[in-house]
């Protein structure tokens, strides 16, 4: 006998509900589904497939899907474009996964908060977003290279309309919703890649004491993406550049990277990639540059993941690096600035031209440079002859060492700091990190 959908639910469903009342949500959900099966009074539109079928009038297995995988920044931009479309046409919203409610994600952009759909489905009847009935889905992915996908679902006869709407959403997102373009972003270390807006802090060229030839080499490489970019494109020579900064710890590699990035931020998007992130998401970072360009990608401590194959180095980071810098994947208008304490540890393929076009070695400062660095740190302490102090310094001190010398002297003497006292602090050597000894748990 066919159940009467207008009558009360069958006794079996009622008894089951009574027995399982108060059970955990998973059990309650199972109960609800059993009740629908037994009672014939379905609420299938509350599920992802039911929402599709209610909007498009066909079994979900007979529909077609136009799918586009999205990078993290594309997912944000497309979500914003979809939100505008929903508001303009009063679209009905539904789930994309089981019966989960549509989800909006909040993004902080320099104190301004942006909320965009990240997991939602929207139904657009014919004559609203396009000439045919469609359902637009934004789907989040876990543990996949691409964090999200855009899907436009339609009847098979309306596949062309679905494709056109997908193209329109992507174009609108890229043209009008580039919220991350021109910002400073930090790459997260897990898949799927997430880019977090951040800041580089204050500081410019005047805060670094480096030889003039270093600045000249930096400017020549930056010109490939600025003043010389049109001519390079005209000649077919490409605008990508790679600078590898080498030298012992403390000579200013990271500071130089950030000064260049700070000068270009705004006109360029800056992506900071530390060693932890580069081991897993390097390829995804460069894919982001397609929509964020022109870009500066700062790779820190590359010797930790671009090891030499001859020395037995393994892993995917080297392969990803070779693919994205003049390899199988083509990107344009990207300046890569990498740093390493040990260039000998790098694979030879990583340092050839068109990957790292120039290697800039930073040496510890000479006596004159040491005096200039001390002048910077001691500008408010006039009773110190920095030239005399610099002349007494041991060889090989870096800018980071000098900063710690001054910090130690200020902690000890405050504003009563003098040349003899500063030289005494240098001689004591307590500003050096003492080597660890003994056994530690």
- What's the pLDDT tens digit per position in 165-201? 999 999 999 999 999 999 999 999 888 899 999 998 8
Residue 42 domain flag = no
Measured between alpha carbons, how far is 171 from 164 in angstroms, rounded to an integer? 11
Does some domain include residue 77? yes
Q: Is residue 122 in some structural domain?
A: yes
Share of the chain above pLDDT 70, in %: 85
How many domains are there within the chain?
A: 3
- Examine the pLDDT at 154 and tell me if it is beyond 50: yes
Asked if residue 290 and residue 401 are part of one domain, the reply reads no
Give pLDDT, residue 297: 97
**What residues contact 275, with CB distance under 8 A and at least 6 apart?**
300, 301, 302, 304, 305
Q: What pLDDT is attached to residue 45?
A: 65
Q: What mean pLDDT do residues 403-426 have?
A: 93
Model pLDDT, residue 354: 61
- With respect to residue 342, please indicate whether it lies within any of the assigned structural domains: yes
Q: Give the domain-ending residue among 334, 361, 388.
A: 361
Residue 36 confidence (pLDDT) above 60: no
b/e burial code for range 326-349 (CB count within 10 A of at least 16 → b): bbeeebebbbbbbbbbebeebbee
Same domain? For 172 and 89 the reply is yes
Residue 192: is the preceding peptide bond cis (ω within 30°)? yes
Tally Cβ neighbours within 10 Å of residue 375. 14
Boundary (domain end) residue, out of 361, 382, 417: 361
Least confident of 3-17, 122-136, 146-160, 376-390: 3-17
State whether 331 and 190 are in the same domain: yes
Residue ranges making up the domain that contains 399: 367-428
- For the full predicted model, state whether its pTM sits above 0.75: yes
Strand residues in 247-369 grouped as ranges (E): 269-273, 295-299, 334-340, 358-361
pLDDT value at 12 more than 70: no
Tokens of 207: 């805060």
The verdict on 268 and 326 lying in the same domain is yes
Both 164 and 194 in one domain: the answer is no
Q: What's residue 351's pLDDT? A: 76
Residue 17 has pLDDT above 80, yes or no: no
CA 391 from chain centre, in angstroms, equals 45
Pairing type for strands 148-154 and 269-273 reads unpaired
Q: Whole-number mean pLDDT of the chain?
A: 86
Cα distance between residue 330 and residue 97, in whole Å: 34
CA dist 321 and 312 (Å) reads 17
Do 204 and 113 belong to one domain?
A: no
Among residues 179, 198, 230, the one where a domain terminates is 179
Radius of gyration of the chain (CA): 30
């Amino acid at each position: 006998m066919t159940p009467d959908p207008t009558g009360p639910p069958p006794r079996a469903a009622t008894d089951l509900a009574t027995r399982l009342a108060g059970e955990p949500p998973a059990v309650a959900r199972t109960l609800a589904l059993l009740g629908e099966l037994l009672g014939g009074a379905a609420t299938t539109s509350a599920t992802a497939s039911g929402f599709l079928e209610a909007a498009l009038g066909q079994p979900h297995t007979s529909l077609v899907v136009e799918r586009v995988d999205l990078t993290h920044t594309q997912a944000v931009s497309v979500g914003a474009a979809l939100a505008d479309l929903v508001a303009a046409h009063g679209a009905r919203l539904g789930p994309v996964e089981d019966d989960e409610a549509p989800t909006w994600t909040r993004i902080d952009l320099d104190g301004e908060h942006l909320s965009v759909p990240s997991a939602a489905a929207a139904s657009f009847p014919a004559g609203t977003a396009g000439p045919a009935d469609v359902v637009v889905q934004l789907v989040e992915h876990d543990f996949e290279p691409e964090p999200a996908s855009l899907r436009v679902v339609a009847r098979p006869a309306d596949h062309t309309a679905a494709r056109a709407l997908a193209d329109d959403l992507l174009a609108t997102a890229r043209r009008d919703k580039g919220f991350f373009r021109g910002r400073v972003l930090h790459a997260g270390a897990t898949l799927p890649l997430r880019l977090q807006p951040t800041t580089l802090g204050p500081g410019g060229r005047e805060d670094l004491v480096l030889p003039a030839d270093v600045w000249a080499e930096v400017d020549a490489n930056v010109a490939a993406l600025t003043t010389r970019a049109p001519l390079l494109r005209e000649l077919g020579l490409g605008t990508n550049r790679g600078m590898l900064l080498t030298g012992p710890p403390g000579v200013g590699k990271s500071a130089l990277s950030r000064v260049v990035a700070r000068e270009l931020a705004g006109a360029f998007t800056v992506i900071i990639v530390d060693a932890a992130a580069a081991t897993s998401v390097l390829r995804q970072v460069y894919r982001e540059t397609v929509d964020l360009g022109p870009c500066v990608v700062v790779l820190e401590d590359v010797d930790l993941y671009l090891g030499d194959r001859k020395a037995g180095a393994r892993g995917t980071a080297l392969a990803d690096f070779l693919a994205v810098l003049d390899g199988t994947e083509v990107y344009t208008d990207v300046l890569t600035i990498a740093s390493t304490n040990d260039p000998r540890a790098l694979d030879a393929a990583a340092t050839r031209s068109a990957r790292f076009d120039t290697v800039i070695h930073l040496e510890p400062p000479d006596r004159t440079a040491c005096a200039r660095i001390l002048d910077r740190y001691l500008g408010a302490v006039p009773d110190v002859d920095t030239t005399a102090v610099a002349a007494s310094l041991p060889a090989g001190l870096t800018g980071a060492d000098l900063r710690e010398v001054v910090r130690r002297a200020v902690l000890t003497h405050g504003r009563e700091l003098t040349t003899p006292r500063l030289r005494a602090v240098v001689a004591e050597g307590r500003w050096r990190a003492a080597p660890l000894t003994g056994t530690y748990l």
